[in-house]
Each structure stands twice: as C-alpha cells, then as structure tokens.
Structure 1
Amino acid sequence: MTDATWLDLVLPLLAATALLLVPGVVATAALRVGLVARVAFAGVSGVVSIGVAGVLAALVGLPFAPWQPLLPAAVILGVSMLLRRRRPRTDLLPRERVRWWWLVAVGIASTAVVVLVAFAHVPGPDRISQTYDNVFHLSAIAHILQTGDGSSLALRTMIETTRTFSYYPAAWHDLVALTVQLSGAPIPVAVNAAWVAVCAVAWIPGAAWLAQLVARSSDGGIVALIAMPLAACSGAMPFALLGWGSLYPTFVATAALPVAVGIPFAAWIHRRDRPRDAGTIIALVLAFGTACAAVALGQPRVLATLAVILVPFFGAVAAVAFLRAWRAGGRSRRRAVVAVATGSGVLVAAVVVGFLYAVVRLGLFSRPLESRLGGGQARATQSVADGLIQVLTQTWLTGIGTATAPALLVAVATAVGLFALARTPGSRWIVVSFLALAVLFALAAGSDAVVTKLLTALWYKDRYRLSSGLPVLGVALATVGILFLARLIGRRAVRWRPAIAAVLAVATTATAVLALGATSAATGFVFRLPSVHAGDAVVSRTEAAFFARSSGIIPAGERVLGDPWDGSALSAVFGGREPVFAHVNGQFDADRLVLAYNLDEIGSNPAVCRALDALRVRFVLYDPHQLDGGDPSGNHFPAVHRAVDHGLFERVSRAGDTVLYRIDQCGPLAAR
C-alpha cells in the first residue's frame, strides 16, 4: 500500500463527476431549468443511468464499462421528448439573475468545505473507512471490477453464494467501479473521489434547488448562493453517514432526496401558476420517477424518508383540492368523493400488503417485538428529550458516538425559517415534515419501546439514517430564515449584502464547529490506518501492502481463504485475489461452510479437499486480530483459526502479524 497525496484525488474526482454529469445532462436535456437545477437533475439522473446500465449490461452479457450509462440516459431523453406535448414556455423557477460563474464558484467552494471537514484528519485519499459495513462495500466494488457484473439484481450473490439472483442496490458500487476504470485509481481513492463527486453534483445543488423552490419569492441565484454553503456544513448529512457504517448507499440515496422532494412541489407551483402548460408537468412527472429510481438504486429504505417528507405535502394538496371541489358542488363534489374513497381504499390495501409482508416475509410474530432491533445501531443511548434538543440546537451525533458542538447560528436560522414558513400558505407542510423527522430521530435515539421500534423499523431504528434526512429540509429552512431576517433589516425588501454576510457568518462558524470538533475527529478515527498491528480496525498498512505482494505468489484465478474478520475479506481490494469470504456475514454454500467449520479436518475429512478444489483454493491469509473484537454473535469461521494454530499449513511469507500459508495436503489444483 503506497501513500497517496490529496493531489492524487483530482483525476478520479474529475472522472466520477463526469460519470454523473455527462449521462445526466443527456437525460435531462429536454428540461428547461436554471443552472443549479440543471446540475442537480443531472447528478441524480446520472445515478439512475449508472445503476440501470449495470443491470442492462449484465442481462445482455456485456462487461460493465463507462460508456454504458449513456444508453439509459438517451432512453430517458427520448421518452421525455415523446411525452411532452410541446416545449415548456418558461423556466420552472424565477431566473437566476446572478452571473453563472458566481454559482459555479460558490458550488466549488462549498465542495471544498465538505472535503475540508470530512478529511481534515485523514492524511491521504487512499485511506478506507475501517467499519463493518465498508467491508461489504469495498468487496462489492472489487467484485464488479473482477466479474464485470454491476447488476443490482445479483450483487448480493457475492455473500449469498447459493443464489443466482439476490438484490442489493449497486448504484454506489457501480459509480466507484467505473471511476476506477476511467481514471485507473485504486479502489480506496476512487471511493473517496466518488463520495466528493456525489456531494458536489447531487447533494449541494439539490439542496440549493429545493431552497429555491421554498423561497420562490426571492431571486433564485441569491437563494442558491445562500443555500449551497449551508448544505456543505450540516453535520447530519453528509458527514454522519461517512463516519457511521460507513453508509455509502444510504448517502447516495439521501443526496438524491432534495430533487425527489422538490419535483412534486415544483409541479404543484407550476400547475397553479400556469395550468395550461401540460408539457412541463409531464416532464416533471417523468423527472420525479427518475429521482425515485435514484433513491431506490442507492438504498431503497431511504424511500421511507421520502414518504415521511412528502405525505404532508400530498395530504395538503389533496385537502385543498377536495375543499375546492366540495364548495363547487355538483359533478365536482361527486368526483371528489369518489377520489377520496378510491384513495382511502388504495391506502388501506397498501397497509394490508405491508402488514402481510411483515408477517410472512419478515416474520413479524416469529419472536416478540421487544426483542427485535436491539443491536448497536438501534439501542437507545440517550433520552427522547436529548434528541429533540439536538435538533433544536443543531447538535449532531458522529459515527463514533460523540456529538458535535451546537451550531447555534444555524439553529437560529432554522428556527426563524420554521416560523416564517408556518406563516406562509402552501409551505406549512414543510414544517410538519421537518418536525415528523425530528420526532422519529429523537425516538430512535432515545427510546427502546415497542411502538418506537415499529415506527422506525424501516430505518433499522438507526438514528444516523433518520438524522441524515433532516438537512434535506433543514437547508431550505435555514435559507428562508436568513432571507426573513434580511427582509426585516430591509423593511420588507431583501437587502442582499446583509443576507450574504449572514450566510458567511453562519457557514463559517458551522464549518469551524465541525472541522475543529467532533465531526472531523470522528472521520479521522474511522479512517485511521494502523501501521503494523490492525487492532480493532479492518486492516493495517502492513497487512494491506502484504495483500498486494501476495498477488505475486497466489496464481491468478485462485481464491484465497481466511477469516473475513481479520481483514482477509479485502484481499481483492488490495491484492486482486478473490476471497472465499468477501464479507464478515453472509449465507454461504456448502463448500464454504465446510471450510469455515471443518478446515482443520483436512487430513481425515475428504469433504475439505473437495471444497478446496471446487473453490480453487490453495492459500490461506491469516492475521491474529479481529475487526471490533470479532463477531458479537459468535465465531462463524473457527476452523481457519484451529488449522493455523495446529500448524497444518506451510508458511510461505510473512509481514508483521500477517502470514500467507500454502495448503499442500490436497495436491495441486487441476488446470482449467
């Protein structure tokens, strides 16, 4: 493992940005929108194009390649052109009257703030998040690169080895794999580049576009200049998801949420202002489907966050429409009653289907509810009141359990924004949605009651997943709060200089709180790289470098055996040799189970050699440490340790604690 400098991030960052923007711009070419919306829509559409391309390439037998996302993008463009009755007559938003280069410059500066906060304590871009979830994510990227299969329909077969199809959302892993192919960067560098690129072209412009919609009475360009720095300095998104997990798929899906939330709102605004412009509404309906697909291809469970945010909006729109039709009487009233009855029936049917799925598929009643969702991510560690105070003061939990200092200026701006929108007809639903997410977060973090588990089950009762949804609306709220205060200063006319000065003060103090406090320190700890002894991390520097050198000993096409809890699961990431166990958890086939539980019987049990031959294994990677102290549910790979402790294999090479052993008892592997 070599030491990379942060300059080595530039080329893969450009590659990841191009992979998102180029197909995204093609897919959204039919929409007539401002610059901020153009970038946000393109970033989200790029996620969809990449995820869909991975599925389609696998179905037709093509190895996954960087040019393929252009095909789904062209299809999206073609469909949008066919569905529109005519070209939309006007922009969806007030014109962005500031110079375009100001928007670009502030967007780049905001991205730089994200990089500063996230990686202030990380020496180089080749570091990995040393966390449980990231073992799977890194192995999945290596699996795509080795097999050429980037399909979400089969990604989970990497750890469910008895199945041909097993869904796991692959958009994140596909983006990183294509970044590796396009830039030639190592997987760890490509991971960090892709993370920054998603922040730059999806999260930051998406949050700014939603703020433009919410503050639609103000100039869209100025609103974006205020909102983009605020999106870059929220502790709950994107930083908490980087330190906890690390939850890269959830991060991608959450980055797409502002666009997914904003599109129905934009359609409602546009329909109200220009009821005859059907072309724009049809284009927005297609765009909403694309945004939902981006969320689903990132992490489908984030659709639950989208639902919590949009249910109050759709409820408010439906209530207004029903009351208008009721007052009109006659046929309009009858249609309204039928629509309410139909909608109620669909809602009841959805609840019944969801309940049956929970009973039949998830085994809702197979064990008591109170015994579920009790793992580390779900266990309450504070009170519900503490969670509400954290939302009120913009104090956010980090991935290692510490909390940031309060971002008081952001808190004030958000509170003022809540007050302003509560007084604004057509925008009160935002207040309801934000408060609903706040309550769910506080419950997940502060209560282990059965009702809490039911309410937060779709998020695994994970406070980090729930808290990451709050900035989706929080950025717009803080932006509105700053504009509201600027209007007070200007006596109903917004004075831009005070507004810009205010956002600079808010963003600077919030960034300092994160960078000098718990957020940067937490990510620095998660991305630590022990020198020789890995301790409770996944791998050490010595171990990762040893994996790379071992590829010169282990023949290509052979797998390597090891306990995945000791870092051997990453042998493909650092050494290009596929591990027998690519993750610390999974549902493995009979041959793998024989090696996990009976490897030490190699001299007396013929099934061991048969399994080694079937999986093409003749080498064992071994390191005495275990990630986070080992599997809390028990040791599921005991025979690997017993075989090494009994000295059954020939030692070939060693570096620090890590040893490569050769298995001689079964003879050489047959040639393919």
Structure 2
Amino acid sequence: MWVVNDERCSMAWWDLGPTWLAAAAVYFLPGLLVLVCAGVRRLPLAALAAPMSATLAGTAAVLLPFAGVPFTPLTYWLAAATAALAAVGARALWRRSRAYRPLVLGAQGPLPAADLGSVAAGAMVPLGIAVAALIIGYRFMNGFGSPEAFSQTFDNVYHLNAVRHIVATENGSTLTLGNLTAASKGLYPAAMHDMMALLVMLGAPSVMAAVNVGTIVMGAVVWPLGCVFLVSRIVGYRPIPLLIAGVLSSAFSAFPYLLVAFGVLYPNHAAVALLPAVLALAVEALGVSRTPPTSPVAPVIALAAVLPGLALTHPSTIPALAAFAAPAIINRTVLVWVEVREGTAKRRAAVGWMIGTAVYALVSLALWIVLRPNLSTAGWTSFQSNARAIGEILSSAPMGTTIAWVLLPLTVIGLYVCARQLRRYAWVAGMFGVGAILYLVVSSWSNGAFRDFVTGIWYTDSYRLAALLPLVTLPVVVLGGEWLIWRLRWVVGTALHRLGEKRLPQLQRLPERTTAAVGVAAVLAMGVAAQGGTLSGVQERLRTIFATTPASGILSTDEVALLREVPAYVPEDGVVVGNPRTGASLVYAFSDRTALAPHIFGVRTPDEQLLFDHWGEAAYNPAVCPAIERLNAYWALDFGDKEITPRAEPLSGVRDLADGSAPGVELVHSVGQARLFRVTACD
C-alpha cells in the first residue's frame, strides 16, 4: 500500500529479505564460484567476487542472444557454472604443465598478530568492512526513505525502463539496449541493468526496489571490499591500516553517494564501486605492491577476467583505470633502472619496461580518444577558481560540499608520508595527483579544447570526476591515519611506562596490546567523527531527490498513484502513448505496460511519431487509427505540460486531452490532474 500524504511506500526495508538474498546470489555467488575454482582465497576472493559476477552477467547477456537463449537467472548461473568448469580444467592443465608453478593471487597467510593477538588481528578486516557497510547502507536507506522510492531526475526515466525492458524481453545485451525500442537499438553498457533485472526476475517487488537494493549492495559492500583490497596492495596485509581503509571508505561524500544524489548516474556508480578491486589487480600485476607476487601471471589473468565486467558496467572507468595505474608503471620502470645501477637487475629488463611503458602510453591515449562520447550534449562548464578546487581536493569536499575535517589532516599527513618514503609510495602520491588534476581541470580551468580533451570522456562533468577522488584519496588517508595511530600509541605507551615508574608499577606489566587497543579505538573514533556535516548534507540531498511530492520533477503523487492503477485498465499487450518528458513513459517500469517511447531520446518510427503528434485526432485524421491498430496503442497518459527537459519537439498528440476538445477519446481513470485516456474512435 502506498501512503499518499508523505509520498512514501509503507513497505519497509526488512520486508525485502528475499530480495537481499537474491542480491547475494546475483552479485557475489557466481563470481565466488568461478574464483574458488580458480584457486583464489581470502580477501582477494571476497573483493573480486562482484567484479567477476559483473563480467559473467555482462558477457552472458551479450552472447546469449546469438545462440537464441534468453537471459534469465537460470542461464546466468549456467554461464557461471560453465566458467567455473573452465577454470577447473585450466587449473588442472596448468598443474600438469612442465612449467608449473603455483599461481598465487594476493597476500597469503594469516594477518600478522602484531600486539593485538591473533584473534583480534584477524577480526580487523571484517570489522572495517562491516562498519562501512552498516554506515553506508544506513545512509542510503535513510536517504531513499522507502524501498519503492525513486530518483526524480532526468536519467532515471531511462534506467528504470531499461531494467523493465530486460525483464520483459529477456535480452540484456550491451549491443542492443540503446534507447529501448526496435528503431533505436544501439550500444549502452548494460551489466548493471542486467544484474538489477535479475533481481526483478527473482521476485523483487518492483523495479524500484531492485534498483535500490542493487545500488546499496554496490555502495555498501562492493566498494568497501575493493577499497580494503586496494590498500592491502599498498601497505601489506596488516590489521590497523586495513581497518582504517574499511572504516574510512564510508567517510567520503563524493562516493558512494554523490552519483546517486546527482543524475542519477547508476552505471557510473556501479562501475566506480568495482574500480578499486580492479586497480588493486593492476598494481599487483605491475609488481609495485607491498609484497610483489612471485609471478605476475595470476594477477594478469584475474585482471583480464574482471575487465569486461568493468567495461560493460561503464566504459569510462577503463580510461580512469589506465590513468590511475600510469604512476605505478612509471614508478616500476624507474625502480628497475635504479636496480640496474645497483647491479641487482639486468639492463635488458629496464629496456623492456621502458618499451612497455611507451606501449602503455599509446594504448591509453587511444582509449582516451576512442571512448570519448559525443560532447554535443555535454553542457557542463567550469565553475570555480583553481585555489578553491585545490582546497576541495585536499579536504575531500568536492562540488561545494562541507569540508571533511577528519580527512583533511589525514590527507596532508599521508602526502607527507609519501614524500618521506618516496621510493615505496611515489606512485600512491602520483595516483592522487592524477585524480586531483582531472578534477582541477574539469571544475576550474577555462572551457576549451584542452579541457575537453582531458575530461571529455566524462562529458566534462565535474560530478563524475569528483566521484573518482575518494578512490585515490583513501590510500593517502590510510597512510596518514596509520602514521597518526602509531604516534598516538607511542604517546600512550610512554605515558603508561612513566606513570608505572613513578606511581603504579603494575602499569609496566600491561601487555603491549593495551596500546594496540587504543589504536583500534582511535580508528573507530575517526570513523564516527567523519560522519559529520558533509555526509549529513549529501544524505539530505538524497532525501530530496528521492521524495515524491505533488510537485516532483518527474512524477507527482497523483501520477504515481495513477501508474499503480494502470494495469487494471490496460491489457498486458497494450501500448500506452505518453510524453516521455513528463514521466508518462515510466508506465513501463511502474505498471509493466509498454510505453510508446520508453526513453526521452531515441529514433521514432513513422507510426510512433504520428501518434505522438496526432493521437488525439483519431476521430477526424484518417492516418491515426491505422497506426493505433498496428501498434495496439489505444491508451494515452496526460501528465500535463510540465517537462523534466523541455525540447523543441512538440509531442502535441497527447496534450490537452482533458479539456474535452478531442472527440473519440474517453477518460478511463484519473487521480487528481493525472489522467488515463482510451481512444474510442477506432473501435
């Protein structure tokens, strides 16, 4: 039941138990199965499960139509089982090979107990991830308000209908998702929509609930897992910094919240959530991780396995990956030359790395050019000074959000640590610099060819590049946080020792783990302190964007109520005419009835354009009824003249039906000013 007075659905989040279980089965289980069969274990297994599942879903959706097989949960899991069997076979063949060497991915062995104790040390990684998941999940649920809430923004017309389209057609191919009609088939990254559509097929109560659950899973679980895995490649498998990484992955307003509170940019959001784990693999493959692998084969294979999922979720993350990995490959090349001078490496290896770096630069440049979208619709311009942009970068407060006072000093200290340990962390600082430059250029540099070239992949949109900043800032923050925690522990330990010498000798017998406990408490305190003004502000923005009111941007209270009742008046095979710019085309997502134009953009067939311009003239325009009969488009929604994105195209065929000036058209049902009509002139 819908509650009209506050525009929220009475369904509670705990009513979605089966959908949460379905999300685990869709987002993690297939990837876990394949990775386990490939021999991956521990943290890499958990962090790479979702990226691997994205690859399986996106590629299966592309390939199945060529075999005439529908895209369903069953075929998705069969594809995963097939990939798992292939992994088992490949592993068996490798074991029998004369060149056999164990392929190890990620750190092995237990977490070092340090002075925490083995049990406590082993709990740090799951504790950090759990804290982040609870905080991020709570903020999303509080911001959405209801499982059935939806973003009242322009892009959501497409995203919600795309999920419904995949469910209805059992075809989620990136090659054809396009603008959701036969006349507008074309490329659109579909992996995120595919996984959300699977949730609907598995019984999610609505498209909106599936989208919200999928968004929360990506932001609250996949993102922290990837962040911890990335930081483990930088600092090693040590408990305190990994705890910091998990806890503070929830401290940024720019991600995972900003792309959902703006746009709404669901595919970008999902792809950025996957990016840390993929970047971690690139770091390990390049040999600059804290504990370099004995062989780059395992991370290279894993990287090749998850890249398709990243690209099919949103291709803009591929150039981002290339840009962020560039400092690592440069750092590795420089280190090899240093090793040559020290006599620990051969000159041939250094030359090989130089050639590889040059090839990498050329390939990255090609990606930068080829993946660039048409900028004719990119209307975002710079809006601030360089000084302000730099301040926003250092304070993790992009797009005018409140300064993150906890993150600001940790970022500065982290950069100091990078400078002090340049040989080890130069590439970490370089990665931060790349993200900073991208945001600086897009938000504060003059509009022109250079700005378009550097940031055109992201439509010169500051929000999209702001969302990448947490990925490159978090490692720096972790280094600063670890430095601070060790100094705090030293101060506490020294104070206890001196106090024991003077007054309380028993304090000298306190185990070292006492100061370790102080460090853990300090990390958790930092996490709590970071949940301040900037995050409260972005959460309130979510509440505003996801609220349905009598004057909402896409659908008003009355219009939502009418859409819920459309199935009682329109048969399952009926097609509904409606101006997509008024939100009427969301009849597809909400009512499971085909919209004549499920997206605001797209190519119209002659019949479709005729009905958009003349549907209400059926009684006296001889061309209209034949088109209505061919398309079975006897119904129309009139949601008034307010449009989310006004355009020159008039679409006047369904306007002003309510004034009675259209003969041969009857009012079927209405809720307030929202009306459903049926043409009778063609009976």
What TM-score results when the alignment is normalised by the length of structure 1?
0.87
Measured at CA, do residues 316 and 346 of structure 1 come closer, stay the same or move farther in structure 2, by a change above 3 Å?
closer
Provide the rounded CA distance (Å) in 2 between the counterparts of 1:42 and 1:626. Answer: 44
Q: 1:388, 1:439 within 8 Å by CA — same for their partners in 2?
A: no
1:7 to 14, 17, 27: 14
- Name the counterpart of 2:320: 305
Map 1:483-494 → 2, pairs under 5 A: 483-491=482-490
Q: 2:397, 2:534 within 8 Å by CA — same for their partners in 1?
A: no
- Name the counterpart of 2:417: 420
Measured at CA, do residues 30 and 200 of structure 1 come closer, stay the same or move farther in structure 2, by a change above 3 Å?
farther
1:446 to 425, 444, 458: 444
2:430 to 429, 432, 450: 432
SS at structure 1 position matched to 2:634: strand
Measured at CA, do residues 373 and 154 of structure 1 come closer, stay the same or move farther in structure 2, by a change above 3 Å?
closer
Superposition deviation, residue 152 in structure 1: 1.4
- Name the counterpart of 1:246: 264
Measured at CA, do residues 221 and 46 of structure 1 come closer, stay the same or move farther in structure 2, by a change above 3 Å?
farther
Does 1:594 pair with 2:613? no
Measured at CA, do residues 61 and 316 of structure 1 come closer, stay the same or move farther in structure 2, by a change above 3 Å?
same
Unaligned runs of 5+ in 1: 365-371, 398-402, 668-672
Provide the rounded CA distance (Å) in 2 between the counterparts of 1:472 and 1:329. Answer: 34
Provide the rounded CA distance (Å) in 2 between the counterparts of 1:562 and 1:597. Answer: 11
Measured at CA, do residues 650 and 465 of structure 1 come closer, stay the same or move farther in structure 2, by a change above 3 Å?
same
Provide the rounded CA distance (Å) in 1 between the counterparts of 2:344 and 2:130. Answer: 54
SS at structure 1 position matched to 2:241: helix
1:565 to 563, 578, 581: 581
- Name the counterpart of 2:132: 110
Map 1:503-518 → 2, pairs under 5 A: 503-515=523-535, 517-518=536-537
Q: 2:105, 2:298 within 8 Å by CA — same for their partners in 1?
A: no
Measured at CA, do residues 592 and 423 of structure 1 come closer, stay the same or move farther in structure 2, by a change above 3 Å?
farther
Provide the rounded CA distance (Å) in 1 between the counterparts of 2:137 and 2:600. Answer: 30
- Name the counterpart of 1:262: 280
Q: Specify the code of the residue in structure 2 equivalent to 1:576.
A: D
- Name the counterpart of 1:407: 404
- Name the counterpart of 1:203: 223
Provide the rounded CA distance (Å) in 1 between the counterparts of 2:533 and 2:17. Answer: 27
Farther-moved stretch of structure 1 (44-53 vs 484-493): 484-493
2:668 to 630, 652, 661: 652
- Name the counterpart of 2:97: none
Provide the rounded CA distance (Å) in 2 between the counterparts of 1:487 and 1:94. Answer: 24
Measured at CA, do residues 187 and 417 of structure 1 come closer, stay the same or move farther in structure 2, by a change above 3 Å?
same
Farther-moved stretch of structure 1 (580-589 vs 204-213): 580-589
1:639 to 646, 653, 676: 653
- Name the counterpart of 1:400: none
Measured at CA, do residues 639 and 242 of structure 1 come closer, stay the same or move farther in structure 2, by a change above 3 Å?
same
- Name the counterpart of 2:329: 314
Provide the rounded CA distance (Å) in 1 between the counterparts of 2:355 and 2:103. Answer: 34
Measured at CA, do residues 290 and 349 of structure 1 come closer, stay the same or move farther in structure 2, by a change above 3 Å?
closer
Farther-moved stretch of structure 1 (641-650 vs 546-555): 641-650
Farther-moved stretch of structure 1 (263-272 vs 295-304): 263-272
Q: 1:51, 1:152 within 8 Å by CA — same for their partners in 2?
A: yes
- Name the counterpart of 2:303: 288
1:641-664 per-residue CA deviation (whole Å, 9 max, x = no partner) reads: 266653242111111111111112
1:342-396 per-residue CA deviation (whole Å, 9 max, x = no partner) reads: 76467558757965897xx95x9xxxxxxx5652xx1223223222111111213
Q: Specify the code of the residue in structure 1 equivalent to 2:405.
A: L
Does 1:151 pair with 2:153? no
Superposition deviation, residue 272 in structure 1: 9.2
Measured at CA, do residues 325 and 634 of structure 1 come closer, stay the same or move farther in structure 2, by a change above 3 Å?
farther
- Name the counterpart of 2:183: 162
Measured at CA, do residues 78 and 158 of structure 1 come closer, stay the same or move farther in structure 2, by a change above 3 Å?
same
Superposition deviation, residue 19 in structure 1: 1.2
1:193 to 206, 213, 216: 213
- Name the counterpart of 1:547: 563
- Name the counterpart of 2:477: 478
SS at structure 2 position matched to 1:224: helix
Farther-moved stretch of structure 1 (596-605 vs 404-413): 596-605
Provide the rounded CA distance (Å) in 1 between the counterparts of 2:31 and 2:479. Answer: 29
1:377-416 per-residue CA deviation (whole Å, 9 max, x = no partner) reads: x12232232221111112133xxxxx43211111211221
SS at structure 2 position matched to 1:653: strand
Provide the rounded CA distance (Å) in 2 between the counterparts of 1:561 and 1:211. Answer: 51
Q: Specify the code of the residue in structure 1 equivalent to 2:15.
A: D
Provide the rounded CA distance (Å) in 1 between the counterparts of 2:363 and 2:292. Answer: 34
Q: Specify the code of the residue in structure 2 equivalent to 1:109.
A: V
What TM-score results when the alignment is normalised by the length of structure 2?
0.85
Q: Specify the code of the residue in structure 1 equivalent to 2:335.
A: V
1:140 to 162, 167, 171: 162
Map 1:506-545 → 2, pairs under 5 A: 506-515=526-535, 517-530=536-549, 533=550, 535-545=551-561
Measured at CA, do residues 346 and 294 of structure 1 come closer, stay the same or move farther in structure 2, by a change above 3 Å?
closer
Superposition deviation, residue 95 in structure 1: 2.9
Superposition deviation, residue 5 in structure 1: 1.4
What's the Cα RMSD here?
3.0
Percent of aligned pairs sharing the same letter: 25
Does 1:123 pair with 2:145? yes
Provide the rounded CA distance (Å) in 2 between the counterparts of 1:90 and 1:582. Answer: 44
Superposition deviation, residue 80 in structure 1: 4.5
Superposition deviation, residue 204 in structure 1: 0.8
Measured at CA, do residues 66 and 447 of structure 1 come closer, stay the same or move farther in structure 2, by a change above 3 Å?
same
Map 1:76-87 → 2, pairs under 5 A: 76-81=83-88, 82=90, 84=94, 85-87=100-102
Provide the rounded CA distance (Å) in 1 between the counterparts of 2:444 and 2:18. Answer: 43
Structure number with bigger Rg: 2
Q: 2:403, 2:534 within 8 Å by CA — same for their partners in 1?
A: no
